[in-house]
Amino acid sequence: MKPTVNPTVEQLVERSNRLGADPKNTNYAGGNTSAKGTETDPVTGEDVELLWVKGSGGDLGTLTPGGLAVLRLDRMRALVDVYPGVDREDEMVAAFDYCLHGKGGAAPSIDTAMHGLVDAAHVDHLHPDSGIAIATSADGEELTRTIFGDQVVWVPWRRPGFQLGLDIAEIKEKNPQARGCILGGHGITAWGDTSEEAEANSLWLIDTAAAYIAEHTRAEPFGPALEGYAALPEAERRAKAAALAPTIRGIASADRPMVGHFTDAGVVLEFLGHAEHPRLGELGTSCPDHFLRTKVKPLVLDLPASASVEESIARLQELAVSYREDYQGYYDRNATPDSPAIRGKDPLIVLVPGVGMFSFGKDKQTARVAGEFYVNAINVMRGAEGLSSYAPIDESEKFRIEYWALEEAKLQRMPKPKPLATRVALVTGAASGIGLATAKKLASEGACVVIADLSLEKARAAAAEIGSADVAVGVQVDVSDGAAVEAALEATVLAFGGVDLVVNNAGLSLSRSLLETTEQDWDLQHDVMAKGSFLVAKAAAKAMIEQGMGGDIVYISSKNSIFAGPNNVAYGAAKADQAHQVRLLAAELGEHGIKVNGVNPDGVVQGSGIFASGWGANRAAVYGVEEQDLGKFYAQRTILKREVLPDNIANAVFVLCTDQLSHTTGLHIPVDAGVAAAFLR
């Protein structure tokens, strides 16, 4: 039987989902909502007053009852009597654990006090662009009075925590007519006696601020247009973005590997095309949710859109050194003896005029959301500059939050990353068989995966089977076509920032004797497997070298690269070509930290596109068995008497790309259940 959900909780979740579904109301995982109500205490049988509030790290748009922290309201409010003051503010978060009801649900966030202490049944704390634009304006307090009268009260900047909760509770008590408040440098809070009233007040505050900004903003809030900084034509800017992406990813990954995201959204291009963007970029973001995701400020390329790729790369590398020095200075100026160690000096946001924005994170979702947050910041700057001037919170306050002990504790609680976390994999021929099994394995171990296949429809279907676009994307490629391979690499670096791991798996085979093999047969198989692997490896190696992060190239060769079997001269020769490419490239690319290895399968019948396309029938005829029994036949001729499956090949690829084989290159791993004639010598 499905457990009964408290009506108050049901209303809260529904309100939260509605508010969180619209980006004008709040950013991803930003803000929190709450409701107060009663439930029966299973110990006493009496009604007990409870506070349900969105837990730490949750997202309003996808909030469920399990994402709520549940606290005893009497115990939470009793903390007022033991509050030791702002100097020991952090202790109060630990104290919330002693207020939990039952198993308590999610972990309480730092904003719990705001919700529990305010004398209103329903409270919303949100980060709308329009509200933060007022909150970060130099004359935000005056604007709040002008726009809202006595319906909204200005609250000067205070770091989130128990004291802020006390401040807002006092404001609510002294201003009974108020519907909410603007939190200086931060966001908004609104309340109501019912869930409907709280939501209406939140939306009224957000929409009223947005309408005022739209009506009263100056014509060019970012200043006049900068000559030469306008957006490049779409095809040109995306080509330039792809050319710059590996270098930029390398810059963002100097301290630790990062996954990237690229956007050329109009709001970004407009910002970078106007005169005030260098000044505003240097001021950085203000809302804590923003700079925790984006760092305090971006790296901005100070060249016009017309600058060449080579000029841009050279300047970006110079700016990266300056950025790291500047961030070290920021840390040194503000750190105290008990501050957490510096977490990394690399930018998370890189802005390129005329091209767009590159954002970075520990995975694709984090990178994408970081970019979304900086778009929020641009919108905030536009609103503040349009009415007044943008005045974010002080650097010292940003540091206090970025290097907050509570934030550090949250980071330490994060689960250990998977072995291939932050790695971007491109797998060719990946819509079926060995390629699909390999792509699934790599994704399951933390990699972002690009499914490349001759059929775009099948590639996209395979990617969707693996996960969302934050995990896998499908692209079309004919590996024998150099231009198509370059396009696939461009799509890869634009999707995930770069490439670290390439699996040359695309292949086909025609089982024919020497005299039956035509010139076209020979060319086709060599074009796809020998030439195709060369083209993919070349394009990928270029990107890997530009990144400076090493990498892996794995060739799915074959037992037939060593074993001379009957009626497969074109296939066997092409596979032998692939096998020697492994050795040649391992010797050449090692100085760049790029490992090149191979896997030699045999008899992989299940799910195989090659076997399904006629090769299986031909091989079965050669060996005098039924086609459906070919896998069993291959198994019986092996030493281990085991059928080789696509997952066995995928496991070998995975192992080659982990730290466990960090010192191995130029190796071929047989995955054939033991074929003595194919033993490597």
Tell me the catalytic residues.
571
Contact by Cβ (8 Å): 76, 52: no
CB 54 within 8 A of CB 109: yes
Which 8-state DSSP code applies to residue 354?
T
**For residue 451, what are the contacts with CB-CB under 8 A and spacing of at least 6?**
427, 430, 431, 435, 436, 439, 459, 460, 462, 463, 466, 472, 473, 474, 475
Positive or negative torsion for Cα 394, 395, 398, 399:
negative
Residue with tokens 């510096």: 342
**CA–CA gap between residue 543 and residue 313 (Å, rounded):** 13
Q: Rounded to 5 degrees, what are φ and ψ at 376? A: -55, -45
Tokens of 281: 């970029």
CB atoms within 10 A of CB 88: 10
Q: What 3-state DSSP class applies to 282? A: helix
Enter the tokens of residue 610: 């090659």
Total number of residues shown for the chain: 681
* Buried-exposed string 503-541: b where 16+ CB fall within 10 A, e elsewhere: bbbbbbbbbbeeeebeeebbebbbbbbbbbbbbbbebbb
Alpha helices in 335-432 (DSSP H): 364-387, 395-402, 405-412
The tokens of 298 are what? Answer: 């971006």
Scanning the structure block, which residue is given the tokens 């950025």?
323
Angle between helices 532-547 and 482-496 in degrees, nearest 10: 40
For residue 514, give the nearest of 562, 577, 560, 572 by alpha carbon.
572
**Which residues does 102 contact at the CB level (< 8 Å), separation at least 6?**
42, 70
Give the neighbor-by-neighbor strand order of the sheet with 594-601. 472-476, 448-453, 424-428, 501-504, 551-556, 594-601, 668-671
CB 555 within 8 A of CB 591: no
Q: Looking at residue 642, what DSSP letter applies?
A: -
Is the Cβ–Cβ distance between 529 and 578 less than 8 Å?
A: yes
Write the CA distances from 476 to 487, 542, 556, integer angstroms: 9, 20, 19
Judge contact between 284 and 348, C-beta under 8 A: no
Can you give the three-state secondary structure of 191-215, one letter per residue?
Answer: EECCHHHHHHHHHHHHHHHHHHHHH
Which SS3 state, helix, strand or coil, does residue 512 take? coil
Closest CA to 598 of 675, 537, 650, 669: 669
Strands (E), 564-658: 594-601
User: What's the rounded Cα separation, in Å, for the pair 20 and 59?
Assistant: 7
Of the CA atoms within 13 Å of residue 617, those in its CB half-sphere come to 3
